[in-house]
């Protein structure tokens, strides 16, 4: 029996709540095997990176959700002869981290899916909430940033606009 501290693997990706996580190797290998058979690695719908799996049984998807986050939904197929299916989906940076972590454990076919998905994701523009600086290049630091109606505003740019407005008023 391997001691518990030796069977731990540090996984360097951000979980859905921003925490670094560690997990047992057996969980990582189980995930790779499960997604090899029943998973998909995609970049497509709404330009979103996705790791998905569909199953008739809900418990494997609940295990994936406990390990990595994501959401589970149920779908009744149009054909009444088919069984009710559960679907787990993981998106965004957490999906990218999982893909990169599992890459070396997957078959060539799945590696191709992962490469294709990550290539599409890398070409997607960075969302404003993830950008480190304003359009003029000022860093979004705690001192230089204020929140206004849910979005970040650069204090340096605001000062420059205020100064320009003052100069224009005095000149008029």
pLDDT at 5 over 60: no
Tens-digit pLDDT profile for residues 59-75: 999 999 999 999 999 98
Residue 133 tokens, joined: 């600086």
Tens-digit pLDDT profile for residues 69-103: 999 999 887 888 888 999 999 998 889 989 999 99
For the chain, give percent helix, strand, coil, nearest 5: 45, 25, 25
Distance between CA atoms of residues 65 and 89, nearest Å: 9
10 vs 133, residue with greater confidence: 133
Kindly list the structural domains of the chain, giving each domain's residue range(s) and its CATH number in brackets, ordered by start. 4-124 (3.10.28.10), 129-171 (no CATH)
| CA 19 to the chain's CA centroid | 13
Residue 115 tokens, joined: 């490469």
How would residue 18 be classed by pLDDT, with cut points 50, 70 and 90?
low
């Amino acid at each position: 029996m391997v001691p518990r501290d030796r069977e731990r693997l540090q996984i360097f990706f951000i979980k859905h709540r921003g925490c670094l996580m560690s997990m047992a190797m057996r969980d990582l290998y189980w995930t790779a095997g499960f997604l090899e058979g029943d998973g998909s690695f995609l970049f497509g719908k709404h330009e979103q990176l996705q790791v998905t799996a569909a199953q008739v049984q809900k418990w494997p998807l609940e295990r994936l959700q406990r390990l990595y986050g994501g959401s589970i939904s149920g779908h009744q197929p149009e054909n009444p002869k088919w069984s009710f299916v559960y679907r787990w989906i993981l998106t965004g940076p957490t999906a990218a981290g999982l893909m990169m972590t599992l890459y070396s454990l997957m078959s060539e076919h799945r590696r191709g899916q992962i490469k294709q998905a990550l290539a599409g994701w890398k070409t997607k523009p960075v969302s404003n909430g993830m950008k480190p600086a304003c359009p003029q290049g000022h860093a979004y630091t705690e001192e230089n940033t204020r929140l206004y109606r849910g979005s970040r505003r650069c204090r340096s740019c605001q000062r420059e606009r205020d100064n320009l407005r003052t100069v224009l008023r005095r000149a008029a």
